[in-house]
A and B are shown apart, each in its own frame.
Chain A
């Protein structure tokens, strides 16, 4: 009896998390899981009738004439979103790592100031900030205006409504999610380690690669997860900066729960996205562990 209680006590610290996420997240999502096997209601919602149509629809769709045929539309949309999410993660890593390292190497009070400076812009609404980028990027925007004034170009460059604009917007949105975890991992960076490395005649870059990067690895992994998953489902930057000419996963799911009135399909889509993300995370974690990327246990 007491041994069971003893065993359970080990888990005490996990209980609040398991309770909150279990009750308010996993249970509701199980409802959605059930929805994905039902039939769409006429005006949103579902009808209590079993069907696997929602999953079949992911790959095979009846064309306008009700003939079922292979339909790559959703695969195309999924790969487009994956591609953009990967680019976003890489961009955030490239930009975020030097920043996190630089901040971590500052004196303590200055470090905190830098951290706070990173969060200040996020007190303003994402949508409002994205609008500001439109102003910078559009044909009559600040960049084109400046370039034309300087006589460098005659015709405005097309910057807005491009995939580059989407990537820029996403990196802008998510880069703090990369900087903060890497900073958290690097903050304890012991100067003596670097000194030791330098004493062994390693130059700065060799030290960076063999001492700093392994230490930063847990932060880089955490940051990549925090950037990748939201970027995969993002729709504000793609819609506003990308011109909305091509659907992304985020908008596609959104659509099913609104004007498309197809909740089961939206539910099935999110179940598949979740499964793919889980697989990616699993493969990523395994890979990192195998290559010994410096992560303990």
Chain B
């Protein structure tokens, strides 16, 4: 017991001296950081990396807003970057002056959410749509009608995310409306569509998607492209849809929070990630694309061949947005009315 106490105290103290040299505290979504990537970085720089994990952009935001410090690298999604910047939570890293900046691909250099890459560099990007079990339904899956006007085979076998924003966005695209609408008439249409769909929905849940698909509990599920790859690897009938109405796209970004104890090491990590051979390790692990030119050749063959990563020509990519408080308020009302 005594030795346990002593070692615990030592642990608590060591957690407290985060500012010591040669360390890097990484705060990222779970299962979203390749262990090999960290090992390579540690081997090349001698910096020891500690990884903590969170579950949502909101959690990250709440923690940074409260003044929690100790993290050197955080990974906000593109539609949250502006919020973090306007709340004064991110440090400038002036990525354009760093080694390797020229490697960022044209699509992700100076993106709309961070012009000039003042605060961020791209980490991974992907799309959100849905996965269909083509053993159950063999027709054309590239339309939101699969979700909202389901064919008889799929009735009652639909899984939706448990997230107002992601469910409503798809309903809006299906109706041909814009995202983040502040128009009550449009939102009434969205609510009507979702209420009509509710009987055919088996569950609203963002957790355990692959399990429900694999077990046959649902035949369609809202999904991210990276996870759809994993579903297909287990069952080739699991196909990822690219709805012709437009596919929702997102990008996660590497940023350095204000108060980072190891700013220099964080910059080393940013430069490290702009090297194609490094970020390719991450893509191979997570199954998502990245924004660095030259890394595609270094990906493993499965990933190169994965249709989930390349939307067909002509399918519009719709980046999700930071909605205004008024739009969020309308979304809340729709969501509560749907699930009351």
A–B contact via C-beta, under 8 angstroms:
yes
Give the B-binding residues of A (Cβ under 8 A): 40, 42-45, 61-66, 73-74, 76-77, 131, 134, 138-141, 160-161, 239-240, 243-247, 252, 255, 257-262
- Contact at A160–B217, with CB atoms within 8 Å? yes
Q: Is B202 an interface residue (CB 8 A)?
A: yes
**A139 CB contacts on chain B under 8 angstroms:** 216-217
Q: Report whether B184 and A66 are in contact in the complex, using a CB–CB cutoff of 8 Å.
A: yes
Contact across chains for B339 and A140 when beta carbons are under 8 A apart:
no
- CB pair A244–B208 under 8 Å, yes or no, is no
Partner among B207, B217, B332, B339 whose Cβ is within 8 Å of the Cβ of A245: B339
Whether B65 pairs with A247 at a CB distance below 8 angstroms is no
Q: Nearest 3 pairs between A and B by C-beta?
A: A243-B203, A73-B340, A64-B184
- Neighbouring B residues of A66 by C-beta, 8 Å: 184
Q: Report the minimum CB–CB distance from B5 to chain A (whole Å).
A: 20
Is the pair A43, B340 in contact by a Cβ cutoff of 8 Å?
no
Kindly provide the distance from the CB of A155 to the nearest chain B CB, expressed in whole angstroms. Answer: 13
Complex Cα distance, B205 from A240, in Å, reads: 7
Tell me whether B61 and A44 are in contact (CB under 8 A).
yes
Nearest Cβ in chain B — how far from A282, in angstroms? Answer: 29
Q: B139 on the interface (CB 8 Å rule)?
A: no
Measured between beta carbons, the chain A residues less than 8 angstroms from B164 are: 255, 259-260
Residue of A nearest to B80 (CB): A43
- CB of B203 within 8 A of CB of A45, answer no
Q: Which residues of A contact B325 (CB under 8 A)?
A: 40, 42, 261
- A43→B328 CA distance, assembly (Å): 10
Return chain A residues, CB-CB under 8 Å to B58. 44, 257-259, 261
Query: Which of B162, B191, B328, B333 makes the CB contact (< 8 A) with A244?
Result: B162
Chain B residues with Cβ under 8 A from A255's Cβ? 164, 332, 335
Which of B162, B328, B332 has a CB less than 8 Å from the CB of A239? B162
Is residue B19 contacting chain A, with contact meaning CB distance below 8 A? no
Residues of chain B with a CB closer than 8 A to A140's CB:
215-217
- Chain B residues with CB under 8 Å of A77's CB are 340
Distance in Å: Cβ of A143 to nearest Cβ of chain B: 14
Tell me whether B339 and A64 are in contact (CB under 8 A): no
A240-B207 in contact (CB<8A): yes
Which residues from A are CB-within-8-Å of B59? 258
Closest to B83 in A: A43
Contacts of B51-86 to chain A: CB distance below 8 A = 56, 58-59, 61-62, 65, 83, 86
Given A44-B62, A73-B340, A239-B162, does the pair A61, B333 have CB atoms closer than 8 Å? Answer: yes
Say yes or no: is B188 at the interface (Cβ < 8 Å to chain A). Answer: yes
| CB <8 Å contact, B204 and A245 | yes
Contact between B215 and A138, CB atoms less than 8 A apart: yes
A266 CB to closest chain B CB (Å) equals 11
Contact of A262 among B184, B203, B332 (CB under 8 A): B332
Contact for B87 among A40, A43, A134, A160, CB less than 8 A: A43
Do B328 and A261 touch (CB < 8 A)? yes
Asked if A260 and B203 sit within 8 Å, CB to CB, the answer is: no
**By the criterion CB–CB under 8 Å, are A63 and B333 in contact?**
yes
Tell me the complex Cα distance, A240–B203, Å.
Answer: 9
Those of B288-340 within 8 Å (CB) of chain A: 325, 328-330, 332-337, 339-340
What A residues does B328 contact at CB under 8 A? Answer: 260-261
CB-defined contacts of B187 to chain A, threshold 8 Å: 64
Chain A: minimal CB distance from B27 (Å):
17
Could you pull out 16 A-B pairs where Cβ atoms are within 8 angstroms? A43-B83, A43-B87, A44-B62, A62-B333, A64-B188, A74-B336, A77-B340, A140-B215, A161-B203, A239-B205, A243-B202, A244-B203, A245-B201, A246-B340, A247-B339, A261-B328
Cα A160 to Cα B159 in complex, Å, equals: 14
Give CA–CA (A61, B333) in the complex, Å: 9
Q: Report if B211 contacts A (CB, 8 A).
A: yes
Neighbouring A residues of B62 by C-beta, 8 Å: 44, 257
Q: State the CA gap A240–B204 with chains docked (Å).
A: 9
